[in-house]
Chains A and B, each alone.
Chain A
Amino acid sequence: MSYLGTGSKYAAASDAAVSSVAGAFVRAWRRIPWPVRTLVRFVLLMLAVSFVTFALVAASPIDPVQANVGQTAYLTMSPERRAALAERWGAGEGLLERYGAWLFDAIRGDFGESLRFNAPVVSVVGERLASSALLLAVAWLLSGVIGFALGVVARARRGSRLDRAICGWCYLLSATPTFWLAMLALMLFAVYLGWFPVGFATPIGAGTEVSFAERLHHAVLPALTLSLTGVANVALHTREKTCEVMASDYVRFARLRGESELSIVVRHGLRNLVLPALTLECAQVSEIIGGSVLVEQVFSYPGLGQAAVTAGLGGDAPLLVGIALATATIVFAGNLAANLLYGVIDPRMRKGVAHVGA
């Protein structure tokens, strides 16, 4: 069940308690085509996230100006820009006014200047995201595919040694701190065995011309570490969902019609796991991004996650807001995609029946 789907579930549960005014509103809302409603919900949610993010950063006792007086970005700034910076992130005006001004600029694409990287926030985020993209994509795909396969196999062989091995391994992995796993990997494969470079996305001093092979070489260890922690989460959840499917009435009936266990897993299991898996894969986007902050920090990988840490520790308020919004947008895009895909995949929704997942 997608958490974004809960809205419609909530609505169904408390229909009886709708007052007449709210009822009219709800009826009008439901007449709007479903994809449009979903989009509106997403836009409103994005606005709320941007406000929360802005408010948290603006409320901080850390003064971005004082924290960065010595930074090049601040030293080379024009007096007007300095004043604007102090006004936006200081404690002068009311929060709402400052957020309004920030939003006004942000809609036009101006997220301010990063104080630590001496460049517009948009370009820093873009650059860092491009650098992280490979890492995130590989980890997301690997953990999703391997995790799903392990989860289904574990349940299909429930109670067997294979099942217990997979579950034990996943319990162990999900209890392992991501950053510690990254440290162990770094120690073993980069320092002790010397198979991989110790850090950074490119060889130091290589300039801008870096071959794809070199980039790959630097990304392998962080990507594998990130995948490994993701696998446990996906596998355990997939196994749980598979258990639910295999305990359903339609699987019981298929068994009583003489269908073999393997055939049931293939014909009914996989089919009914598509929707939960979709939800899971989208939730995994958020997990992977969170994990990338830790892994990039350990491997000194110059991606978005590492920039977030630099911005947070360095009092780089504009960049911190920019990064938080960028990650939230990716998570939202994933969930939006899942919600729209539900409509395509689930025949109950395709025919306009208001029902999300299961």
Chain B
Amino acid sequence: MEDGRHQTPELLRMDRITKSFGSLLADDAVTLDVRVGEIHALLGENGAGKSTLMKVLYGLHQPDSGEIWLDGQRITIGSPHEAVAYGIGMVHQQFMLVPNLTATENVILGMRAERRPMLDLAAARNRLVELAREYDLEVDPDAPVWQMSLGGQQRLEILKALFRGARLLVLDEPTAVLAPSEVGGLFRIMRQLASEGRGIVFISHKLSEVTDVSDHVTVLRLGRVTGTLPTRDATPHTLATMMVGREISLDRTTPPVVGSDTVLEIVGVHCLTDRGTPGLAGVDLVVRKGEILGIAGVDGNGQRELVECIAGLRPITAGTILVEGRPPSSALREPGLLGLVPEDRYEQGLIGDFDVSENLVLRAYQRAPFSTNGFLRWGRIRDNATQRIAAFDIRCPGPLAPVRSLSGGNQQKVVIARETQDDPALIVASQPTRGLDVGAVESVLNLLRQQRDRGAAVVFVSTELSEVLALSDRVVVMHKGEIMGEVPPDPAALGRIGEMMMGRSLASIDAGAVA
């Protein structure tokens, strides 16, 4: 029951915080309250508003409305410096560590030194070592940060916060960079810090961790709080439902075309992430003509790497990928093989300074009819643009409009129009509806359906479970670079999907269910 909690003093209260950026409402009257000694999990998908909320807490943004209360006092936080002064310590997902400085130097950066301007390296070093010993956080005070493992850097970030006397510690997706063996260590520290009277805000996607370590959980979806409850009262199913909402459409359009031709074949593929950690850990997938494979899963579990490997943009360290029997290096170069709708449509999918007609031929400009004998045929490029704009209902002033002036949805249509130009055998769409309004989302999903109906094989990667279920013919779940299992796109499978997102393989879930 909640009674015990109400008796615990309130440490932090973010009350009805609202923040928007232009027309995008990131946080809508979000209330978060953290008690002393409590580990409070903040759960939600990408774009749910978690990071904006934390940026407000850390003084990087000012809320449009709402209040922040600390220990029952109303405060305003104008900058990160003030946040630190209030005892709010943040361990960001992207570490705020200077790579070429040592651990000790990083810890004292920005702190008032005793004998200004001299650095008190010796004293700081001792205190750091002391703290590290107290909390059993292994760190080498003299090592430059770039030499430290990610787990070590994270420990350093925590120590940095403790060094400054943080009473409220915010951990943003801390387990993203940890090996499974290190996660236990992190949780131990969290419990120890909480038991000393600190408050901990633990931001995560991962349902299993939330249930493991937190006392209380608040779920955000699309900028709103969809639920806040003690963790012991939360089941994976309830949490998943809160994260996903109830917009799971049961409308399925034409039944999937069951083709026999394999378009995409992935066997035993391994690869590394940009950081050098394992990205894909043995992925096997087959996608056939005329079907949509939905890849669900929490962001950061290898989806990005998988897409890049298929497109030939990332080297494979083991295994094979074949797109219509061709290696990934040909995927983007040979026409008719791959249409790629990348995750970041503006940075990766479009050239903002170019106009619509140019963006529509980014992949095809080298071939007829758009060029002959090495020269571009602008007339044909323009005509093509006019035609595609009409076909895809792209709202823009005309083919010569700079693409940066288009809305997000229309920009995405440009990308899709381009990538489907050659009727490619395989289409990979990575988070294609991110940041789009409802109408645009509908258009994009319909366009993908049309491609499937044409006979293409479509891989649809999305963190939006409702969309995955509505669009896909088959659904697989990725976790830590592996495929956990495949389920039919049935809302009833939500529980199993949730568990797979937590890291349980389908086999073990089913075995558990039977027993």
The answer to whether A and B come from one shared complex is no
B-side residues, CB < 8 A to A, are: none
